[in-house]
Amino acid sequence: MIKARFMRIEGTDNITSVIVAGHADYADYGYDVICASVSSLVITTINALEEYVGIPTNVEISEGVTAFSCVPIDDETEIQAQTLMHALEIGLVGLVEEFDGFVSVETVTI
Protein backbone atom coordinates (compact mmCIF):
# COMPACT_ATOMS: atom_id res chain seq x y z
CA MET A 1 0.00 0.00 0.00
CA ILE A 2 1.10 3.56 -0.70
CA LYS A 3 0.74 5.75 2.37
CA ALA A 4 0.73 9.53 2.07
CA ARG A 5 1.16 11.62 5.20
CA PHE A 6 0.47 15.37 5.20
CA MET A 7 1.93 17.41 8.07
CA ARG A 8 -0.15 20.43 9.07
CA ILE A 9 0.55 23.26 11.49
CA GLU A 10 -1.73 22.98 14.49
CA GLY A 11 -4.61 25.43 14.38
CA THR A 12 -4.27 26.02 10.63
CA ASP A 13 -4.92 24.20 7.39
CA ASN A 14 -1.34 24.84 6.20
CA ILE A 15 0.53 21.80 4.91
CA THR A 16 4.24 22.00 5.72
CA SER A 17 5.53 18.70 4.40
CA VAL A 18 4.51 15.45 2.75
CA ILE A 19 5.82 11.91 2.98
CA VAL A 20 4.73 9.28 0.47
CA ALA A 21 5.92 5.74 1.07
CA GLY A 22 5.28 2.24 -0.16
CA HIS A 23 4.14 0.48 -3.28
CA ALA A 24 0.60 -0.14 -4.43
CA ASP A 25 1.27 -3.66 -5.74
CA TYR A 26 -1.80 -3.19 -7.94
CA ALA A 27 -0.04 -4.61 -11.01
CA ASP A 28 3.37 -5.79 -12.18
CA TYR A 29 6.27 -3.34 -12.20
CA GLY A 30 5.90 -0.95 -15.11
CA TYR A 31 2.16 -1.58 -15.37
CA ASP A 32 0.99 -0.27 -11.99
CA VAL A 33 -1.30 2.65 -12.81
CA ILE A 34 -1.69 3.55 -9.14
CA CYS A 35 2.07 3.91 -8.59
CA ALA A 36 2.31 5.89 -11.82
CA SER A 37 -0.54 8.17 -10.76
CA VAL A 38 0.91 8.86 -7.32
CA SER A 39 4.38 9.45 -8.77
CA SER A 40 3.00 11.88 -11.35
CA LEU A 41 1.07 13.86 -8.74
CA VAL A 42 4.03 14.09 -6.35
CA ILE A 43 6.67 14.95 -8.95
CA THR A 44 4.40 17.53 -10.61
CA THR A 45 3.78 19.19 -7.23
CA ILE A 46 7.50 19.33 -6.41
CA ASN A 47 8.36 20.68 -9.86
CA ALA A 48 5.59 23.30 -9.70
CA LEU A 49 6.72 24.49 -6.26
CA GLU A 50 10.27 24.92 -7.54
CA GLU A 51 9.72 26.11 -11.10
CA TYR A 52 6.42 28.01 -10.94
CA VAL A 53 6.31 29.31 -7.38
CA GLY A 54 10.09 29.67 -7.23
CA ILE A 55 10.69 28.22 -3.78
CA PRO A 56 13.11 25.44 -2.94
CA THR A 57 11.77 22.12 -1.76
CA ASN A 58 13.74 19.94 0.59
CA VAL A 59 13.30 16.66 -1.26
CA GLU A 60 14.49 13.29 -0.02
CA ILE A 61 14.01 10.28 -2.27
CA SER A 62 14.94 6.72 -1.42
CA GLU A 63 13.60 3.33 -2.46
CA GLY A 64 9.84 3.56 -2.10
CA VAL A 65 9.85 6.86 -0.17
CA THR A 66 9.57 10.48 -1.28
CA ALA A 67 9.48 13.24 1.32
CA PHE A 68 9.45 16.96 0.75
CA SER A 69 8.81 20.24 2.48
CA CYS A 70 8.86 23.85 1.43
CA VAL A 71 9.22 27.19 3.14
CA PRO A 72 7.47 30.00 1.28
CA ILE A 73 9.34 33.31 1.22
CA ASP A 74 6.36 35.69 1.39
CA ASP A 75 2.55 35.83 1.50
CA GLU A 76 2.18 35.35 -2.25
CA THR A 77 4.35 32.25 -2.41
CA GLU A 78 2.59 30.92 0.72
CA ILE A 79 -0.77 31.07 -1.07
CA GLN A 80 0.63 29.46 -4.21
CA ALA A 81 2.44 26.73 -2.25
CA GLN A 82 -0.64 25.90 -0.20
CA THR A 83 -2.76 25.72 -3.34
CA LEU A 84 -0.37 23.18 -4.86
CA MET A 85 -0.03 21.15 -1.65
CA HIS A 86 -3.82 21.00 -1.26
CA ALA A 87 -4.21 20.03 -4.93
CA LEU A 88 -1.82 17.13 -4.29
CA GLU A 89 -3.91 16.07 -1.31
CA ILE A 90 -7.13 16.26 -3.35
CA GLY A 91 -5.57 14.15 -6.10
CA LEU A 92 -4.37 11.50 -3.67
CA VAL A 93 -7.71 11.38 -1.84
CA GLY A 94 -9.34 10.83 -5.23
CA LEU A 95 -7.10 7.80 -5.73
CA VAL A 96 -8.08 6.49 -2.28
CA GLU A 97 -11.74 6.78 -3.25
CA GLU A 98 -11.12 4.88 -6.48
CA PHE A 99 -8.54 2.34 -5.25
CA ASP A 100 -9.20 1.89 -1.52
CA GLY A 101 -6.79 -0.61 -0.04
CA PHE A 102 -3.97 0.41 -2.36
CA VAL A 103 -3.53 4.04 -1.26
CA SER A 104 -4.12 5.80 2.05
CA VAL A 105 -3.91 9.46 3.09
CA GLU A 106 -3.53 10.74 6.63
CA THR A 107 -2.95 14.10 8.28
CA VAL A 108 -0.60 14.69 11.19
CA THR A 109 -0.81 17.90 13.18
CA ILE A 110 2.51 19.34 14.26
Provide the whole-model pTM: 0.95
Report the number of distinct structural domains present in the chain: 1
Is the pLDDT at 25 greater than 90, yes or no?
A: yes
Q: What is the CATH number of the domain that holds 71?
A: 3.30.70.1490
What was the pLDDT predicted at 71?
Answer: 87
What was the pLDDT predicted at 91?
Answer: 98
| Exposure string for 62-99, b = 16+ CB within 10 A, e = fewer | eeeebbbbbebeeeebbebbbebbeebbebbeebeeeb
pLDDT digits (tens, 9 = 90+) for 55-88: 999 999 999 999 999 988 899 999 999 999 999 9
Segments forming the whole domain that contains residue 97:
2-109
What was the pLDDT predicted at 19?
Answer: 98
